[in-house]
Amino acid sequence: MAAITAQNIKKSYGHIHALKGVSFDVREGEVFGVVGPDGAGKSTLFNILTTLLLPDSGTATVLEHDLLRDYLEIRKNIGYLPGTFSLYPDLSVEENLIFFATMYKSSIPDNMPLIKPIWEQLLPFKKRPAGKLSGGMKQKLALCCALIHKPTLLFLDEPTTGVDPVSRKEFWEILGTIKKQGISVVVSTPYMDEATLCDRIALLQEGEFIRMDSPKAIVNDFQGELVSLRTTDIFKLLKLMNDCPLTCTFYPYGENLHVIFYEPMETVLPPFEAFLQKNDISYDKLTQITPTIEDCFIEIVRTKN
Ligand code: ADP
Ligand code: MG
């Protein structure tokens, strides 16, 4: 059974085509990542699949229920952590959780097996107003609240955006334990490193899925030779690269420059090194590397355009 099947979902806001016909399946029990930059259409897709927003066209079933006809059934069985802050800031951590539990005619003890790993991290702050928690703690509490009615499918819209790196890591560890309970998870993120933690990902760009597969398959399909270059003056190098006589794609990657070549390494490296030396670029390392999902995304977007 598929947790979600969606066919040709479209949504426009006036003349903005936020979703241009998105089709996909989410398998039961998998962590499915929707990866894309700001404005790609992630929240629009989440709001539609959680029945908060009507699509202009397209069909979908969520947990075997028709999106339009059986929306009440869907709402009962999904959990949603929307991108915007969804808690009551003046209520304490504990009060927030009790509120959501009561709304679903449930209770904290009822759900302890499911929320325990998260709740334990929140316990030291249980009397604190939710609005006064750190970003990471807020998201853990929101996740607890989204789980309180034992959903079988969980939607998390950018749960770690703006959250510090340590809390991000902890949040993903928690997602691992949720998956182990058999809950299907659809999670969106602008962070490429998080994409690799999903079973499958869909790369969303301007309202279209431009690639959908396991992170490993996407990396394996990467065409080209990727080189990483560390230099002291990345800006000078970026400017210079426009004059590079070799066919390549280049972009800053952290403190490094990444260059994708389309011919065998032994053919391109000698002329490339000669080009760098001629232009007085000092670099301490020129290494061929395995692409990350981010490199793949850049290349997939480039070849599509
Ligand atoms: P993401 O969550 O990936 O950042 P969104 O789904 O929020 O993307 O937005 C997709 C596009 O639709 C963007 O161009 C955004 O500006 C636009 N958009 C989103 N919501 C609205 C709205 N209520 N009215 C008009 N435009 C919107
Ligand atoms: Mg969004």
pLDDT digits (tens, 9 = 90+) for 247-259: 999 999 988 999 9
CA angle in degrees (0–180, nearest 5) for 131-87-109: 110
CATH number 1.10.260.30 is the correct assignment for the domain at 2-218: no
Cα 252 to Cα 258: distance, rounded to the nearest angstrom: 6
**What CATH homologous superfamily does 222-304 map to?**
Reverse transcriptase/Diguanylate cyclase domain (3.30.70.270)
Longest dimension (CA), the chain: 72
Per the CB < 8 A criterion, the answer to whether 244 and 76 are in contact is no
Residue 80 C-alpha to ligand 1 middle, in angstroms?
18
Helices and strands counted in the chain (H then E): 11, 14
Residue 82 C-alpha to ligand 2 middle, in angstroms?
8
Per the CB < 8 A criterion, the answer to whether 63 and 152 are in contact is yes
* Ligand lying nearest the CA atom of residue 161: 2
Residues lower than pLDDT 50 in the chain? none
Instruction: Please indicate whether residue 16, judged by its CB atom, sits closer than 6 Å to ligand 1.
Output: yes
Contacts of 56 (CB under 8 A, 6+ apart): 10, 11, 12
Spans of all domains in the chain: 2-218, 222-304
**Token pair for residue 11?**
């949504």
Per-residue pLDDT reduced to its tens digit, 26-84:
999 999 999 999 999 999 999 999 999 999 999 999 999 999 999 999 999 999 999 88
Instruction: Read off the pTM.
Output: 0.92
Q: Is 204 exposed, middle or buried (0-12, 13-18, 19+ CB in 10 A)?
A: buried
**Number of residues that make up the chain:** 305
Q: What is the pLDDT of residue 281?
A: 87
Q: What is the pLDDT of residue 192?
A: 87
Ligand 1 atom closest to residue 19's alpha carbon, by position in its atom list: 10
Q: DSSP secondary-structure letter at 109?
A: H
Cα 296 to Cα 218: distance, rounded to the nearest angstrom: 7
